Amino acid sequence: MKTLLGLFMLSFSLNSFANEKMVIGKDDRHQIKAKNKEEVHESIGLLIEGNGKRGDFCTATIIGPRHIITATHCIGGGTNLHFIPGQMQWIPTKLEDRLPKTAIRAKRAYPFPGFSSKTQKQTDLSIIVFEENFLAPSIPFALFDHTNEAVTVTGYPSDKKLGTMWEDSGIISNEGTYTLDTFGGQSGSSVRNKNSEIIGIHISSNERSKINQAVIFKQEHIDFINDHLKKN
């Protein structure tokens, strides 16, 4: 498996998912600001490819000292990925060639084996490792073992002001589907249960079926995560 970001090439790109949307009925998302920010929000951040042009971003979550988790389709073929943890609002003077000083450059990416468009529901997640430790805490993760569980998805939707964090909650099915509201840019967001444990990764939406989709954590995903936390 190729692990260097410069060598890992996929048929997906960040731009291809930036406009993917699924706000179902009334938009129930609410913005996370300083006044309602919780500790978990410090560990969620923007994942930006290249110089951060509008649309070239996803969402990721800290799960280890130097590790984040996101969707594999979010890392694209990029050789220049940056993570901005706890970002509340990012308003550069220009959208080109401008990144916040808090942006941290990634070192390596480790995609879950076997990723393709056909296996996306089971394989669309990656661990990304950085040179230095994060200041924000790691979010715990757990097996998905409870259908109809209440879950929360937090991220950076592209239909809102650039770099603002938004959140919604809903019920997840046994297949990892839910009807809570998301938008392009939230791919890679962690799906968290009532204990704030990550039990999946938000990956896509289906406008025809009016559902959103996550990779839900089975034992093979937990083993994959633990393996890379120990090795890296």
Q: Encode pLDDT of 72-100 as tens digits.
A: 999 875 457 889 888 766 554 444 456 66
Q: Hey, how many other C-beta atoms are within 10 angstroms of the C-beta on 135?
A: 11
Does a structural domain hold residue 224? yes
Centre a 10 Å sphere on the Cβ of residue 113 and count the other Cβ atoms it contains.
Answer: 10
Region 48-67 average pLDDT = 80
pLDDT at 4 over 60: no
Give the whole-angstrom CA distance, residue 183 versus residue 3.
29
Is 80 part of a structural domain of the chain? yes
Question: What pLDDT is stored for residue 98 in this prediction?
Answer: 60
| Chain segment 161-211, per-residue pLDDT in tens | 878 999 999 999 999 999 898 888 899 999 999 999 999 999 988 777 778
Residue 132 lies in a domain: yes
* 75 occurs within a structural domain: yes
Q: Structural domain of residue 25, as residue ranges?
A: 14-231
Percent of the chain with pLDDT over 70: 80
Q: What is the reported pLDDT for 32?
A: 93
pTM score of the predicted model: 0.85
Residue 8 lies in a domain: no
DSSP 138: P
Nearest-angstrom CA–CA distance, 22 and 207 = 6
Q: Between 162 and 32, where is the model more confident?
A: 32
Rounded Cα distance, 60 and 104, in Å: 13
List the beta bridge partners of residue 110.
127
What pLDDT score does 31 carry?
94
Mean residue pLDDT of the chain comes to: 82
Is residue 5 in some structural domain?
no
Check pLDDT > 80 for residue 54: no
Looking at the domain assignment, is residue 158 inside a domain?
yes
Band of pLDDT at residue 17, cut at 50, 70 and 90: very low
Asked if residue 2 belongs to a domain, the reply is no
Chain centroid to CA 45: 8
Look at the chain and report how many structural domains it folds into: 1
Q: Residue 132: its pLDDT value, please?
A: 87
Looking at residue 192, which CATH number applies to its domain? 2.40.10.120
